[in-house]
Structure 1
Amino acid sequence: MFIPYSLLQFPGTSFSTGQPRSVKKIGKIDSTNIFISKNYYTWGASVVEGEDGKYHMFYSRWPHGKRLEKDDSLNYIFDGFAGWNKYSEIAYAVSDNITGPYRHVKTILKGTGDPSRWDRFTFHNPYIRKFEGYYYLYFISNSFDSSLTGDKPLSPSRLQWFKYNCTQKIGVLKAKTIEELIDRSPTSATGAFIMEPDNKQTFEVTNNPCVTEGPDGKYYMMYKSRKPVFGHMTFWMAIAAKPEGPFKTVSSVLTSPETASEDPSIWYDKKRKRFYAVAKYFSNTLKLAPQFGSIILITSKNGIDWQPAKHTLATLKEIKFQNGSKVDLANLERPFVVADRKGQPIALFAAAAIQNPFKGNPLRVDNEHNTFNVHIPLK
């Protein structure tokens, strides 16, 4: 088990309009704010307060270890952490407090391998919100495209990886209660997807969905795509009259190689009358932040035209302890901001790893190469 964490800082900004502010310190972290699974990679938490006053977490997980050839002759590309691309499932946990401790309950979405379904394999990127009295769980899934070839020289294993990866689409489940949402077979049908690449603006994938309600009563989705072929990551905005869509893509957000990012989390601040989003910075040019993989902050007045906040860096990949020590992280990803009814952030969730989990031994995962979700209260 990890030792208690205690203090984390967001240098330079505090989820504001980007104007200079003193460094904002956020709540102390202890072991109750760490969610980790013994035999699973644990990733990407998303949380909502239920009608019962409890906090309900949906997260991604997939087993440690090597994949067996008897299950699939292509499984050699999914050993260890790489297994997310085929074997991730969406699980559910619950807590009396927003930052934990959380108790795992069950898996609610899992691939069947059915070749007739768009959601054939992985279930990943859960994003839970409550709109108009209903819960909406956005997610991604994939299938397999045997015809994919691309025009870049790739190793056979890398090409096989993309045959799965390039079929990612976005879906959503709607339920009146949390009980209704989770009281279902993990392999039951999830309905049609709500977003796929149009091959005009967006290409190869649609994933990392995040949705918020705007001041106009419309629903704004920020999602990730890629430039062809197997190119850098891009963000796009889509708008719908209803939380379940149909969504129409209306604008680009971060589409240059210098601003490549992933894992957005969006909300609308009613006090400041602005949209905000945090995301993982994914460019080595370091144009927006001093560290690859750090968390950045972007903002918009209308939800369509976005720009980096004046102080774009939200946090580096590090955790600071109450005793003054610090742990540098290999990964700090999938940020998810919980905001109150006025759009004021009250908690930050993120997936983390101390050592690069891709480089761990797939037959044995120790704490350093394991992964966990950290839940940080915001003052």
Structure 2
Amino acid sequence: MQSINIKNKLGMWAALLITLASNTVKANNTDTYNLTAAMQPVSEENIFHDKDYYNWGSTIVKGDDGKYHLFYDQMPKKHGFYSWLTDGIVSRAVSDSPTGPWKKVQEVLAGRGDGYWDQYTVHCTKVYKFDGKYYLYYMSTNSGIMDLTEAQLDEVRHGKWKPDNLRGMLRLNQRIGVAVADNIEGPWKRFSRPLFEPQLPIANQSNNVTVTKRPDGGYLMIIRGDQPDQKPNEIVRMQAVLLADNPLGPWKMQSKPVVVNYNSEDPEVWYDEERKRYYNLYHAFGYMGMLTSTDGLNWHRAQHYKVADKEYTTTDGKTVKVHRYERMGIYLEDGKPAVMTAGIFLKNGDTHSLFIPLKAD
């Protein structure tokens, strides 16, 4: 009888431990954000065109004036869409709403010309307000000691990438830098060097920067570079993490990559304070996916991983299929996703910046 009681008690304890473990797993499983379900149809005022420029990716910042300020990438139509590598600029627009309509008010930054690391282009920008200052992160490139003629520049603008041509050279020289301002209207202070040089786990170049503040007060950056073991005539894009105590750095590369062994780019990272985890939205050349992490270092596919195909829905019920759906961004209002931005390349060859209202979860 004694042994039976002991067995019964052991069974009860085992059942209790299983229940506690199950409850702990449920408590830690906070990966519940469904971005697809939050995405709402768009109207004409959620689409931002320019007759002289290709409008592309963008960042929304709420100013001290109560208005919404949009920093967005542009490329001159006269040079073609692929002049993002040579002639990109970042401009600023203003609206009373984070979904538009937007009015362009300023061209903010362009390439600085000969003698600078950011000689050509300002592209793939992200703008943040940290502790009262504005930080504009961007990609730029240069031709080193080689002076490119106008004919050579035109070749880069319109020619396809090859590892040994001029476009290939400018691609390899891509680096991430930052400009800082006390006022959202500028002036912007730039620096003599990029923030860091490419190092393992990425190789060759750095692009597609995104930054968020960590709950411990530091900063986390995700960038896109090349996979080190790719073949000479192919490009495999991967993502890596850097950490810093200050938005200006020094930024320390972390050894574990975010994404490896398949093409992905245009990361957008943010910290979800309610769920106590990071999310990373990116495009994988055919669809949009989302990763998550509780520490910012170890990433896996989110529960609601696939966010969207290359299409969006309008308020009049139409589904618009597009050629490219890239450069996603998430605008947080009071710590919660309120708007998703994207660069849209239409099948007719035109582009626009897109602003998708997000339903509160």
Q: TM-score range by the shorter chain?
A: 0.7 to 0.9
Q: Distance in 1 between matches of 2:270 and 2:134?
A: 16
Q: Does 1:354 align with 2:346?
A: yes
Shift of 1:19: 4.5
Shift of 1:157: 8.8
Q: Distance in 1 between matches of 2:55 and 2:98?
A: 18
Name the CA shift for 1:146/1:335 in 2 (closer, same or farther; >3 Å).
same
Name the CA shift for 1:201/1:63 in 2 (closer, same or farther; >3 Å).
same
Conserved 8 A contact 2:174-2:205: yes
Quick check: 201-210 or 20-29, which moved more? Answer: 20-29
Name the CA shift for 1:25/1:255 in 2 (closer, same or farther; >3 Å).
closer
Shift of 1:269: 0.6
Structure 1 segment 212-223 matched on structure 2, within 5 A = 212-223=212-223
Structure 1 segment 189-204 matched on structure 2, within 5 A = 189-198=190-199, 200-204=200-204
Q: Give the aligned residue type for 1:167.
A: N
Structure 1 segment 174-323 matched on structure 2, within 5 A = 174-179=180-185, 181=186, 183=187, 189-198=190-199, 200-228=200-228, 229=232, 231-258=235-262, 260-282=263-285, 292=286, 294-323=287-316
Q: Match of 1:50? A: 63
Greater radius of gyration (CA): 2
Name the CA shift for 1:156/1:141 in 2 (closer, same or farther; >3 Å).
closer
Conserved 8 A contact 1:235-1:254: yes
Q: Match of 2:119? A: 120
Identity of aligned residues (%): 32
Q: Distance in 2 between matches of 1:22 and 1:60?
A: 24
Q: Does 1:168 align with 2:160?
A: no
Name the CA shift for 1:335/1:160 in 2 (closer, same or farther; >3 Å).
same
Which residues of structure 1 form unaligned runs of 5+? 1-15, 67-79, 148-153, 283-291, 356-367
Q: Distance in 1 between matches of 2:302 and 2:334?
A: 23
Shift of 1:256: 2.7
Q: Match of 1:375? A: 355
Shift of 1:339: 1.3
Q: Match of 1:288? A: none
Structure 1 segment 91-102 matched on structure 2, within 5 A = 91-102=91-102
Name the CA shift for 1:23/1:105 in 2 (closer, same or farther; >3 Å).
closer
Shift of 1:18: 4.5
Conserved 8 A contact 2:337-2:358: yes
Q: Distance in 1 between matches of 2:251 and 2:47?
A: 35
* TM-score normalised by the chain length of structure 2: 0.81
Shift of 1:50: 0.8
SS in 2 for 1:252: coil
Structure 1 segment 81-96 matched on structure 2, within 5 A = 81-96=81-96
Q: Match of 1:12? A: none
Name the CA shift for 1:238/1:156 in 2 (closer, same or farther; >3 Å).
closer
Q: Distance in 1 between matches of 2:35 and 2:53?
A: 39
SS in 1 for 2:120: coil
Q: Distance in 1 between matches of 2:161 and 2:126?
A: 33
Count of matched residue pairs: 314
Which residue of the other structure, out of 327, 330, 345, is the alignment partner of 2:337?
345
Shift of 1:164: 0.6
CA distances 1:72-124 after superposition (whole Å, capped 9, x unpaired)? xxxxxxxx21111111111111111111111111211112331x210000110
* Higher normalized helix content (fraction of residues): 2
Shift of 1:252: 3.2
Conserved 8 A contact 1:275-1:300: yes
Conserved 8 A contact 1:254-1:261: no
Shift of 1:132: 1.3
Conserved 8 A contact 2:201-2:257: no
Conserved 8 A contact 1:138-1:171: yes
Shift of 1:146: 7.3
Q: Distance in 2 between matches of 1:304 and 1:156?
A: 33
Shift of 1:55: 0.8
RMSD of Structure 2 on Structure 1 (CA): 2.3
Q: Distance in 2 between matches of 1:127 and 1:111?
A: 16
Shift of 1:129: 0.9
Q: Does 1:59 align with 2:72?
A: yes
Shift of 1:195: 2.3
Q: Distance in 2 between matches of 1:224 and 1:155?
A: 18
Q: Match of 1:142? A: 141
SS in 1 for 2:83: helix
* TM-score normalised by the chain length of structure 1: 0.77
Shift of 1:266: 0.7
Q: Distance in 1 between matches of 2:357 and 2:317?
A: 19
Name the CA shift for 1:42/1:196 in 2 (closer, same or farther; >3 Å).
same
Structure 1 segment 105-116 matched on structure 2, within 5 A = 105-114=105-114, 116=115
Q: Distance in 2 between matches of 1:334 and 1:372?
A: 11
